[in-house]
């Protein structure tokens, strides 16, 4: 055991020494990058050679699903992805177990862990990433070193052409991927997921549209506790808000898997494990408007469409409602990149309570 450790330490020392010499004597960054990577492979993964796609495969566990196909339509993979630098530093990962092991798991802030949709193909993903998926079956796991010259969204015919066009700021990366699904259009996948969820929890609830110029298309659902209520005679009907009413609301936002990413309710936050002592949990102020798009919260109309569209359906103090909608009404293909709570192409569920209403008719 000590002998092996001694060899590794010597190898690391040689790697640092020789790489310094390579960098000093080389006439191009491409030469340095190529020689450094080969030295790293020889030191830490002796016997591993570059495959025909230009990668160094470190681990390959076959999947039992269908083979990943390359064509004009199957442009997305739904996968778990972890990215490391050669020194082992993890730059990003969707793996919740890995995050827990490393102590970086951030449940308190509602960070999402799990597979995501990734667009593949020229102009969308790195050439090395596409090469990594090549020959894989769904459900398999593959780890490989992607050379720095293949960290590019451009495509070339030979490794030498990639080297000739090496980006100046690129570096070698270690990718671990586990593809779970391949599809042409993630919006159709989430549409199907949302429909199944609605059917399971709300039966034959029909979708609606809050936009005057668009018909219901199965992407937005809304149900209120007053939806099927008998409001009685007109004179006994509860007082309704006006188009410019100021109100306070409670809300809770969830992913379809039940994960809470935001709430104004303290108990919900504690139960979900995202409670923050520095945050005030209380109803927030909103202002209605004649148009759904002009509804504001805290003076800002910069709210996702589905949130405003759902509030526009609510009218009475004490009313509670639930809205379910696809990412076309939410955070779209990118997700919420500021908080990392909501991945791209995610259907959302919002639960609302219209707590107080002023300026009543």
Average pLDDT over residues 181-208: 97
Average pLDDT over residues 2-20: 50
Model confidence pLDDT, tens digit, residues 106-138: 777 788 999 999 999 989 999 999 999 999 999
113, 255 contact by CB (below 8 A): no
Q: Quote the pLDDT of residue 202.
A: 96
Same domain, 210 and 342: yes
Task: Say whether pTM exceeds 0.75.
Answer: yes
Same domain, 115 and 30: no
Average pLDDT over residues 164-186: 93
Residue 183 has pLDDT above 80, yes or no: yes
Q: How many CB atoms lie within 10 A of CB 244?
A: 11
The token duo for 119 is 């667009």
Counting residues of the chain whose pLDDT is more than 70, the rounded percentage is: 87
Same domain, 32 and 134: no
Which residue, 26, 46, 66, sits at the end of a domain? 46
Q: Quote the pLDDT of residue 189.
A: 96
Same domain, 128 and 220: no
Q: Quote the pLDDT of residue 313.
A: 96
The token duo for 27 is 């006439």
Q: What is the CATH number of the domain that holds 62?
A: 3.10.50.40
Q: Residue 166's domain spans which residues?
A: 48-184
Query: In whole angstroms, what separates CA 53 from the centre of its chain?
Result: 28
Rama region for 117: left / alpha / beta (φ>0; ψ in -120 to 50; rest): beta
153, 136 contact by CB (below 8 A): no
Q: Quote the pLDDT of residue 231.
A: 53
The token duo for 314 is 């609510």
Which residue, 159, 184, 209, sits at the end of a domain? 184
Average pLDDT over residues 267-274: 95
Same domain, 331 and 199: yes
Rama region for 211: left / alpha / beta (φ>0; ψ in -120 to 50; rest): beta
289, 296 contact by CB (below 8 A): yes
Residue 233 has pLDDT above 60, yes or no: no
Rama region for 122: left / alpha / beta (φ>0; ψ in -120 to 50; rest): beta
Can you spell out the DSSP letters for 62-108? --SSPBP--SSS--EEEEEEEEEETTS-EEEE--HHHHHHHT---TT
Least confident of 49-53, 104-108, 148-152, 306-310: 104-108
When pLDDT is cut at 50, 70 and 90, the band that residue 228 belongs to is low
Instruction: Identify which has the larger pLDDT, 168 or 53.
Output: 53
Which residue, 130, 162, 184, sits at the end of a domain? 184
């Amino acid at each position: 055991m000590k002998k092996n450790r001694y060899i590794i330490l010597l190898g690391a020392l040689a790697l640092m020494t020789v790489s310094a010499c390579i960098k000093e004597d080389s006439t191009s960054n491409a030469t340095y990058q190529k020689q450094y990577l080969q030295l790293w492979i020889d030191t830490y993964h002796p016997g591993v050679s570059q495959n025909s796609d230009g990668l160094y495969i470190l681990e390959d566990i076959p999947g039992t699903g269908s083979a990943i196909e390359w064509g004009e339509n199957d442009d997305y993979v739904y996968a778990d992805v972890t990215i490391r630098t050669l020194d082992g530093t993890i730059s990003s990962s969707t793996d919740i177990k890995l995050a827990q092991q490393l102590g970086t798991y951030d449940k308190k802030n509602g960070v999402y862990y799990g597979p995501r949709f990734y667009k593949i193909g020229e102009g969308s993903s790195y050439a090395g990433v596409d090469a990594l998926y090549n020959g894989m079956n769904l459900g398999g796991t593959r780890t490989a070193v992607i050379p720095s010259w293949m960290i590019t969204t451009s495509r070339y015919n030979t490794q030498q052409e990639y080297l000739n066009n090496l980006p100046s700021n690129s570096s070698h990366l270690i990718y671990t991927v586990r593809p779970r699904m391949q599809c042409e259009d993630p919006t159709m996948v989430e549409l199907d997921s949302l429909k199944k969820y609605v059917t399971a929890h709300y039966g034959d609830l029909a979708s609606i549209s809050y936009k005057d110029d668009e018909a219901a298309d199965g992407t937005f659902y809304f149900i209120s506790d007053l939806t099927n209520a008998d409001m009685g005679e007109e004179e006994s009907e509860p007082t309704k808000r006006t188009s410019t009413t100021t109100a306070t609301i409670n809300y809770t936002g969830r992913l379809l898997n039940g994960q809470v990413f935001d709430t104004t309710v303290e108990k919900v936050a504690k139960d979900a494990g995202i409670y923050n002592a520095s945050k005030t949990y209380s109803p927030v102020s909103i202002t209605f408007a004649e148009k759904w798009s002009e509804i504001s919260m805290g003076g800002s109309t910069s709210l996702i469409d589905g949130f405003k569209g759902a509030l526009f359906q609510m009218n009475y103090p004490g009313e509670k409602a639930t809205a379910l909608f696809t990412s076309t009404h939410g955070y779209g293909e990118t997700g919420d990149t500021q908080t990392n709570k909501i991945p791209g192409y995610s259907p959302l569920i919002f639960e609302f309570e219209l707590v107080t209403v002023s300026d009543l008719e």
